[in-house]
Amino acid sequence: MQILPTIHSPADLKALAPSALPQLAAEVRKAICDQCMTSGGHLAPNLGVVELTIAMHYVFDFSRDRMLWDVGHQCYTHKLLTGRQALLGRLRQRDGMAGFPEPRESAYDLFSVGHAGTAISTAVGMARGDSLNGEGFDGTNPNGRRVVSLIGDASIVNGLAMEGLNSAGTLRRQFLVVLNDNGMSIAKPQGALASYFDRLRMSHGYAEFKKRAKDVAKLIPGGREMSELYHRMGDMSKAAISHDAWFEHFGIVAVGPIDGHDFNSLIEFFTEAKHFDRPMVLHVKTVKGKGFSFCESDPSATHSPGPFSVPDMESEGCRIELKKSSRSFTSAVGEALTDIMKRDAKVVACTAAMPDGTGISKVAAAFPERTWDTGICESHAMDMMAGLAKTGWKPFFAVYSTFMQRAFDQVFQEVALQGLPVRLLLDRAGLVGNDGAVHHGFCDISLLASLPNAVLMAAMDEPSLKAALEFMRKHDAGLSALRYPRDAVSDLFTKQDCPEFVVGKARALVEHASPDVAVLAYGVMAIESATALTSLDSEYRVNLYDARFAKPVDIQLLESLLSKNIPVVTVEDHSVRGGFGSCVLEACNERGLDTRLITRMGLPDQWIYQGERREQLVEAGIDATNIARTIRAVVQAAPKATRTTTPSKVRVS
C-alpha cells in the first residue's frame, strides 16, 4: 500500500510509525523525479533533502512553529507533506505548484523565497517577533513557537547569512539553523569556508565527538555559559558537539555533522534541538540527487533540468537525455565571450555560483586562470571586478538580472562612482518563465539608469549580442551593462548585416519614408514587435527600430519622429515604471518634445507568477497580438494629417 497519497497534512505524517518513513521517502523521491522528467524542475536539490524534510515535519509542528527556507528550490517534499500533492502535476506551471515557497499556496510557506542567504535573518526576525508577542519558546514558555531555518552550505557564505548568524547569536531562546551540507550549490561551492566544511566532513567521526564533547564545551567562546548549555543538551547533541566549529565564534552551539539520510539520527537530534533554549546550528551531511544514480553522479546537470528521459535508469553511469531545445542566449554569450578572451588577453570573467546558468562554464574551461566563480556572493564579486578594473583589466561579470540587485550598492559605490569600466552581462532579464516572480529581471534598467555615465544596452538576437559584447570590450569610459532573456535566440534578422553598436544609436529594422507610427523596441521585444507587424499586413506604415540603448536613448531619432507628429510606441520586457520607456520620456521631456505622442508598453505594476514565458508575455500585454492592438489604437487616435492609406517604400536593414 502506498503511503504518500494518504498524507494530506503533517498530522497524517506524525501518525506513521518511524519504520514507515523510509518507504514514504522512496515514494516522495519517485513522485518528484517522475514529475521533473515531464516538466523539468529542481531535481537534485529536492532529492537530497527528502529524509531531512520528513524528519523536520515529523518532530516539529509547522502549523505553529516557524519554518524558514533559504533559496527555497528544495521545498518540493515540504509541499507534498503540506496538502499540495494535487498541484505537483502542474509543477512550475500556471495554477500549479510554484517551484519555490509561495505563501499564496499555503500557510506553511512563510515567505516567497528565491534568493540565497535570507533564511537566518528572516528567522531571527520571526523569533524576536514571537518573543515580543509572548509566543516564543524558551525556558519560561515551553508551549511557545519554535523557529527553524534551513540553509545550504553554499548559501551560508553569503554576506547576509553572516549578518544573520551574528544577530542570531544574541538570542536567548530556542533557534535552530539546519545547515544542509551536500558539498554543492548549483556548482561546486567556492571559497575558504567551503574548504573548511570539506575538512570537517573528512576529519571527525562520531566517536571522537563523543570523547571530546564535554571538554570542548568548556573551551569554546562563552566559557561557563556554554558549559552550562552543554548540560542542557541531550545525549545525542552532547556526543556530536563540534569541537572546532566555526559557528561558535557567533556564540552559537554547533552540532554535527550527522547523516542527513538516517531517520533515527535526524529524529533524535531534532527532538533534542526542539527543547534546546539557545541558538544551535545542526550540521547535516546530505547527498545532492540522493536515490537516483544519474543524479548523484552529475548533480550539476540535474540541478534544474528541463524535461528529460533516462534511457537506462537501472544501469551504473546512466545519464539523462534532455529534450532538444533551441540555441539560447546563455550559450551564445559563453561562446562569444570565449572568442573575445582569445582575442584580448586583458579580458577577465566572473560569475557568482552560476557558471552553467550564465554560460561562464565555457569560458572557464578555456581560460581558467582568467575566470572566477565566487560562490553566492554577488556583492563581493562586483567589488572584485572593480578591483580588477582598477588594475587595468577588462572585467565581465555575468549575473542573473534578479541577483544583480543584491550588489547594487557595490555597482553604485565601487564601480559607477569611481568611473570604472566594469561590464555587466545580465542574464535572465525580463520574464523568466517557470521560476516565476522570485526570478524575473524586471528592475535592472530602473536601478542602473540612475547611475551617471552608465551605458545600458539590450540584445535582440545573437549578432546584436556579439556586437554589443565587442562594444563593451572597447568601452573604457565607465559602467556598461547588457541585458538578454532566458530564451532562444531568433534568426529573424540574421540574414541582414548587423551594424556596430554606437553609443545612443538605434538600428532601423523596418523603415518607411512617411510612417504612421514608430515602434522603438528594447532587446528581444524587437522580435516580438516584428511578429506584430506581420499581423497588420499593409494596414499601416510602421517603422520598427531596435532601440539598443536605454541609456543614452537615441534622442536624435526621437526628435526627428516627434517633430513630425509621428506617434512613438516603446516596448520592453522590463517594468514600465522606471524602464526603457521612462528613459525615453525623460530624454524627450528634457528636449521639450511632445511626450503625449509616446505610448509605453512594458511589464505592468503587478506580480507575474510561474508559467511559460509565452503565457507571461500575454499576461503582461506585451505579446505580438497586444503590440499589434496597441499600434492600431495609437494610429487611429493620431491626428489624421499623419495618416495615409498607401504604404510607401519599406527599407529593412
203: exposed, middle or buried (Cβ count in 10 Å: 0-12, 13-18, 19+): exposed
- 519 and 458 co-located in one domain: no
- 171 and 265 co-located in one domain: yes
**Interval 498-530: pLDDT, tens:** 999 999 999 999 999 999 999 999 999 999 999
CA distance 105 to 508: 46
CA distance 282 to 209: 14
Looking at residue 71, its pLDDT comes to 84
Whether the CB-CB separation of 295 and 44 falls below 8 Å is answered with: yes
Say if residue 441's pLDDT is above 50.
Answer: yes
Instruction: Looking at 512-562, list the stretches that DSSP marks H as alpha helix, in order from N- to C-terminal side.
Output: 525-536, 555-562
Question: DSSP E strands: which ranges in 103-186?
Answer: 147-152, 175-181
Domain C-terminal end among 483, 517, 533: 483
Among the listed residues 445, 521, 447, the one whose alpha carbon sits nearest the alpha carbon of residue 483: 445
**Interval 21-35: pLDDT, tens:** 999 999 999 999 999
Identify the weakest region by mean pLDDT among 217-221, 284-288, 334-338: 217-221
Task: Measure Cα distances from 193 to 29, 215, 392, 576 in Å.
Answer: 30, 25, 29, 41
Looking at residue 347, its pLDDT comes to 98
- 518 and 594 co-located in one domain: yes
Among the listed residues 449, 457, 617, 437, the one whose alpha carbon sits nearest the alpha carbon of residue 529: 617
- 335 and 461 co-located in one domain: yes
Q: Grid cell 499601416 — which residue?
A: 540
Phi, psi of 550 (to 5 degrees): -95, -25
Looking at residue 294, its pLDDT comes to 86
CA distance 241 to 216: 8
- 256 and 200 co-located in one domain: yes
Looking at residue 486, its pLDDT comes to 94
CA distance 280 to 169: 9
Q: What is the mean pLDDT of residues 265-269?
A: 95
Does residue 296 lie in a domain region? Answer: no
Q: In degrees, to the nearest 5, what angle opens at C-alpha 67 toward C-alphas 64 and 68?
A: 145
Say if residue 588's pLDDT is above 90.
Answer: yes
Does residue 500 lie in a domain region? Answer: no
Identify the weakest region by mean pLDDT among 44-48, 445-449, 499-503: 44-48
Looking at residue 79, its pLDDT comes to 97
Give the CATH number for residue 443: 3.40.50.970
- 426 and 563 co-located in one domain: no
**Chain centroid offset of residue 429 CA:** 11
- 449 and 537 co-located in one domain: no
CA distance 308 to 306: 6
Looking at residue 447, its pLDDT comes to 97
Domain C-terminal end among 251, 285, 319: 285
CA distance 284 to 53: 12
Q: Could you give the percent of the chain with pLDDT greater than 70?
A: 87
Looking at residue 313, its pLDDT comes to 63
Looking at residue 263, its pLDDT comes to 97
Among the listed residues 101, 97, 184, the one whose alpha carbon sits nearest the alpha carbon of residue 149: 101
Looking at residue 646, its pLDDT comes to 41
Say if residue 650's pLDDT is above 80.
Answer: no
- 252 and 144 co-located in one domain: yes
Looking at residue 221, its pLDDT comes to 42
Among the listed residues 295, 282, 211, the one whose alpha carbon sits nearest the alpha carbon of residue 245: 282
- DSSP annotation of 607: -
Does residue 516 lie in a domain region? Answer: yes
CA distance 549 to 134: 55
Whether the CB-CB separation of 147 and 68 falls below 8 Å is answered with: yes
Does residue 50 lie in a domain region? Answer: no
Task: Measure Cα distances from 246 to 161, 327, 382 in Å.
Answer: 14, 44, 26
One-letter amino acid of 560: S
Give the CATH number for residue 603: 3.40.50.920
- Bond prior to 257 in cis (omega within 30° of 0): yes
- 279 and 370 co-located in one domain: no
Whether the CB-CB separation of 628 and 514 falls below 8 Å is answered with: no
Q: What is the mean pLDDT of residues 284-292?
A: 92
CA distance 158 to 526: 37
- Secondary structure (3-state) at 191: coil
CA distance 471 to 501: 6
Identify the weakest region by mean pLDDT among 7-21, 90-104, 628-642: 628-642
Looking at residue 213, its pLDDT comes to 38
Task: Measure Cα distances from 87 to 42, 92, 93, 95 in Å.
Answer: 16, 9, 9, 8
**Which is more confidently placed, 291 or 361?**
361
- 456 and 581 co-located in one domain: no
Q: What is the mean pLDDT of residues 41-66?
A: 96
**Interval 387-399: pLDDT, tens:** 999 999 999 999 9
Say if residue 281's pLDDT is above 70.
Answer: yes
Q: What is the mean pLDDT of residues 337-355?
A: 97
- 137 and 265 co-located in one domain: yes
Q: What is the mean pLDDT of residues 47-55?
A: 97
How confident is residue 308, by pLDDT bands cut at 50, 70 and 90? Answer: confident
**Interval 599-648: pLDDT, tens:** 999 999 999 999 999 999 999 999 999 999 999 999 999 876 444 444 43
Q: Compute the CA torsion angle 62, 39, 523, 624 (nearest 10 deg).
A: -110
Domain C-terminal end among 285, 303, 320: 285
Say if residue 69's pLDDT is above 80.
Answer: yes
Does residue 20 lie in a domain region? Answer: no
Looking at residue 649, its pLDDT comes to 38
One-letter amino acid of 652: V
**Interval 148-196: pLDDT, tens:** 999 988 888 888 999 999 999 999 999 999 999 987 544 555 555 555 5
CA distance 225 to 232: 11
Say if residue 231's pLDDT is above 60.
Answer: no
Count: domains in the chain: 3
**Which is more confidently placed, 139 or 144?**
144
Does residue 9 lie in a domain region? Answer: no
570: exposed, middle or buried (Cβ count in 10 Å: 0-12, 13-18, 19+): buried
Q: What is the mean pLDDT of residues 84-89?
A: 96
- Secondary structure (3-state) at 116: coil
- 439 and 522 co-located in one domain: no
How confident is residue 243, by pLDDT bands cut at 50, 70 and 90? Answer: very low
Does residue 269 lie in a domain region? Answer: yes
pTM: 0.86
Among the listed residues 56, 33, 55, the one whose alpha carbon sits nearest the alpha carbon of residue 44: 33
Looking at residue 219, its pLDDT comes to 41
- What range defines the domain where residue 634 resides? 507-651
CA R_g for the chain: 27
Does residue 147 lie in a domain region? Answer: yes
Q: Show which residues are catalytic.
A: 288, 378, 406
CA distance 597 to 258: 66
Q: What is the mean pLDDT of residues 463-476?
A: 98
Say if residue 114's pLDDT is above 60.
Answer: yes
Say if residue 272's pLDDT is above 60.
Answer: yes
